[in-house]
Structure formats: C-alpha cells, structure tokens
Structure 1
Amino acid sequence: MSEAAELEEALQRIVQWSKAYSLDIFPEPDLGRAAELLKLGHISLDAISVHCMRHAVLGVGEIARAALARAARIERVDQSLTRQLSRSMQLNAELRQRIR
C-alpha cells in the first residue's frame, strides 16, 4: 500500500470515528440539568467533559501517530533506496570509465 493510501486510510478511520456517535442515536443532553444532577453527587460536568474529550483526542491522536510513524518508516526506506541507487549509478559510471 502506498504512503498516500495509508495516510488516506488513517483519515478515513478518523472520519468514521467522528460519525460513531450520531445525534440520531445519542441526542444532545440537557447539560444544565446534567450539571445539577452531577453536583448532587459532587461531580462536575467539566470533569466529565474533559474526560470525554481526552478520550476522543487520544483516540484520534493514536490513529494519526500510527499513520505518521508508518509514513516516516516508508520515507526512511525511500531515502535509503535513493542513496543505494545513486551509489550504484556512480559505481556503474566509474566502471564504464575504466572499460573505455
């Protein structure tokens, strides 16, 4: 699979993840009411919100990190192959000079 295809696949995974919790299935809650109920249990809505956001951002970050790491490995292989090809061409030119 090409580097571009792998990065596109990672972006597609992020898009799919973004659609996982549609409003049709999980309608928007009454946040004011939720905050009141949570306060009764000595929990803040901010703490819940941060926890949820952290989970989402870490998940997206993991998809991105994996894709970027794979792209970096591919880039290193490409650079190595380019160096090897350049050296081979140089040796080939030197050999042709010797033959003449």
Structure 2
Amino acid sequence: MVPEEVLLLQFKVQLHNISKPPVWRKVSVPANFSFDKFHSVIQEAFGWYDAHLYQFSPKGFNSSPQIGIPDDSGWDDEEIINSKKIKLSAIFTEKG
C-alpha cells in the first residue's frame, strides 16, 4: 500500500513592528491542518505559552476574512470564522 501524499504549506511568520533585528520563524504544516492547529504550531515555534487570544487575517493585517475564536456574546459586529472548523487549504489555494 502506497502512503497518501500529504501537501505541506510553508509559512514565514514574522512579528509585527519588530525590525531590529526582525523576529521570524519558518514553519511547514500539512494543508489539512485547521487554523487552530496552525496557531499551536506558531506557539511552539516561538516558545510561547498560549496566553492570549489569536486571530488570522490571511489577506493582510486586519483584513477580511477574520479567522479566530468566535465571540458568542453578541457584542462583536464582525463575523469571525471558527479557527477549529476551517482548514488552511480552504484559504491558501495558490502555489507560491
């Protein structure tokens, strides 16, 4: 039996507003990872302890769609896509 090929996505994750020197990590993850799992990979790559909420904006800082932990309180006007329910492959579809 031949193992199924797993598509990997490679990301450069750089901290915003830190440039002297820039702080970044290169990570490779399976395309079928959820954004929640991707968040866990980033936490490990930087040696962080998962102490804050998170949000992804795949088209650039603070753009739509917003992917994170939905606010069920009804106070948030913007819709947040649940990071546990959306896979990286749903957003990152182009090579390069």
What TM-score does the superposition give when structure 1 sets the normalisation length? Answer: 0.24
Which of the pair is proportionally richer in helix? 1
Asked which structure has the greater RCO (Cα within 8 Å, sep 6+), the reply is 1
**TM-score computed with the length of structure 2 as normaliser:** 0.24
- Which is greater in Rg? 1
